[in-house]
Amino acid sequence: MVEGYSVGIDLGTTNSAIAAVTGDEPEIIPNSDGERTTPSVVMIDDNDETVVGQAAANQAVSNPDRTVQHIKRHIGDEDYVVDIGDEEYRPEQISALILTRLLADGESYLGRDVDSAVITVPAYFGDAERQATRSAGEIAGIDVEHVMTEPTAACLAYGLQETAQSDDAESHDKRHVFVYDLGGGTFDATLVEIDLEHNHIEVQNTDGDRQLGGEDWTQRIVDHLADIAQEEGGVDVAGDHEQEQRLYDAAVRAKHDLSNREQTEITVPYLGPDYNLETTLTREEFQDLTEDLLDRTVDNVDELFDRADMGVDDVDEVLLIGGATRMAQVADTVEDYFGTEPLRSVNPDEAVAMGAATQAELMSSGGDTTADDVLPGDEDLLLVDVTPQPIGIELHDGTFAAVVDQDEKVPIEESDDRFTTVMDDQTGVRFPIYQAPPRRPRTTPNSARWSSRASPKRPPANRPSRSTSRSSPTGP
């Protein structure tokens, strides 16, 4: 029996990609529309039939209540559901529909079953989001061999490309690569040490924002257009999903246009009964509208270097990953920050899926490729990740005590933290485990728990929020 294929999948907020190693190298698998990426958009009709990809995106204007976009922004939120008709869908079910389409395209292209995959997630995703991503794969009927971080996958693709240029191991000095990854919905800043002589890719530090991506830049244009419509035409689009979707589509086009041009014309006919929106947006205006968003990415990079053992000047190479790095101001800002031009040779839309496909092939029992076939060193591939946010327990007084700090290399075998019971003759201990966001302090809950740190070393931290959110399907 021929073993099924193992593929790499970049499950993105706005676009997804699938790749597989065929022959000696990973290749992107085009979808049935002939495209190399597939919009992460799902439409579920009233007969429960689903449409995924460009066709779903195309009908979003006319059918906003049955169209789901940007679901990755909610993955791992256990209280979030999307209401479509009388049905409720959890984020992992929607993500599974996207995966099912990608897998079907993969099987028809490869002419074989696909039974396992490596799926990528932002490095800054916590455990809940990673587990939910894994569940999405399982709902789609595949074995998820590994949930790999997107910057690590991109670095692996970079390593493969370097190898293709010269496979002499000795010529591949250890180097520090900084990955600035701004996708549709997430931002990851990652410092990676790449040692191609030994096939080691080790993340050193990571920072980022799970709720910051190119879609926020789009939303600023949407808000700007909505203000113009209000002022000029007295038209209020708030709550009108169809008109909101039309503004969103116009805003995306304008944003992409401004990556190549200094100004763009925006036209949205019949936004109101007798109102056509017509305006011009310059690159400078766009940059002003979104300056604070770019600053937030710079703050994340600053914080990373505050913790890192090395400085900005020690970075050898800067990789730009994610479609939103095409915005002129992003590349300029990164170049100014590092004083060096970012590398342009790694494809920002495809590198993540290519790296994941390579890892899938190396991990799959059916594959006969080993690391020394694709990388210059003769050792097994070693990928080391770090914990993006501290993991710890809740103490009896409701405070959070980190046991695994941010940026600790995983897996962690042992911790020398010691905790004690709080009462004499105590027979049990309850210790809820949290992965806490390191920022956004919140007041700690006042729940009585049964454990206490023997010698508290760190200040009380925050606890993750669990707010109930329910939303209309569309919109970021």
Ligand X SMILES: Nc1ncnc2c1ncn2[C@@H]1O[C@H](COP(=O)(O)OP(=O)(O)OP(=O)(O)O)[C@@H](O)[C@H]1O
Six-digit token pair at 14?
């706005």
Stretch in the footprint of Mg ion (CB under 5 A) among 5-13, 195-203, 212-220, 466-474: 5-13
Q: Per CB under 6 A, does 355 bind ligand X?
A: no
Residues from 361 through 420 that contact ligand X (CB under 6 A): none
Residue 376, both tokens:
């210059």
C-beta closer to ligand X: residue 166 or 260: 260
Given the complex with ligand X, which of 204 and 259 has the nearer CB atom? Answer: 259
Q: Which of residues 10-39 bind Mg ion (CB under 5 A)?
A: 12
Q: Pick one of Mg ion, ligand X, none as the site partner of residue 213 (Cβ within 5 to 8 A by kind).
A: ligand X
CA distance 378 to 210: 36
* Residue 468, token pair as written in the block: 């109930």
Is 11:119 a contact under the CB 8 Å cutoff?
Answer: yes
Per partner kind, with CB cut-offs from 5 to 8 A, the member of Mg ion, ligand X, none near residue 449 is none
Q: Which of ligand X, Mg ion, none lies near 63, with the C-beta cut-off 5 to 8 A by kind? A: none
List residues with catalytic annotation: 10, 72, 150, 181
> Which of 132/374 has CB closer to ligand X?
132
94 binds, among Mg ion, ligand X, none (CB under 5 to 8 A by kind): none
Residue 208 interacts with Mg ion (CB under 5 A): yes or no: no
Residue 200: enclosing H or E segment and its boundaries? Answer: strand 200-209
Which two three-digit tokens encode residue 307? 């913790």
For ligand X, give the closer residue by CB, 91 or 213.
Answer: 213
- CA–CA dist 10, 185 (Å, integer): 13
Q: How far is the CB of 75 from ligand X (least distance, A)?
A: 10
422 touches ligand X (CB under 6 A): no
Rounded Cα distance, 263 and 258, in Å: 6
Q: Out of ligand X, Mg ion, none, which partner does residue 252 contact, by CB within 5 to 8 A per kind?
A: ligand X
Q: Which of residues 70 and 453 has its CB atom nearest to ligand X in the complex?
A: 70
What is the residue type of 246? R
Give the integer Cα–Cα distance in Å for 243 and 207: 36
**Nearest residue (CB) to Mg ion, 183 versus 390:** 183
Contact present, 20 and 220 (Cβ < 8 Å): no
Reference 217, options 193, 190, 182; nearest CA is 182
Nearest approach, Cβ of residue 273 and ligand X (Å):
30
Which listed residue (220, 326, 449, 463) binds ligand X by CB under 6 A?
A: 326
| 322 scored as a contact of ligand X (CB under 6 A) | yes
Asked if 319 and 177 touch (Cβ cutoff 8 Å), the reply is yes
Establish if 64 lies at the interface with ligand X (CB under 6 A): no
Residues facing residue 178 across a β-bridge: 191, 318
Among 6, 14, 243, 297, binds ligand X (CB under 6 A): 14
CA distance 71 to 90: 9
Measured between alpha carbons, how far is 144 from 103 in angstroms, rounded to an integer? 13
8 near Mg ion (CB under 5 A): no
Q: How many residues does the chain have?
A: 476
Residue 12 in contact with ligand X, rule: CB under 6 A: yes
Query: Which of positions 191-230 make contact with ligand X (CB under 6 A)?
Result: 213-215, 218
Q: Could you tell me the smallest distance in angstroms from the CB atom of residue 13 to Mg ion?
A: 7
Biggest alpha carbon distance in the chain?
Answer: 77
Beta strands in 66-135 (DSSP E): 67-68, 81-84, 87-89, 114-121
Q: Which residues of this chain interact with Mg ion, rule CB under 5 A?
A: 12, 183
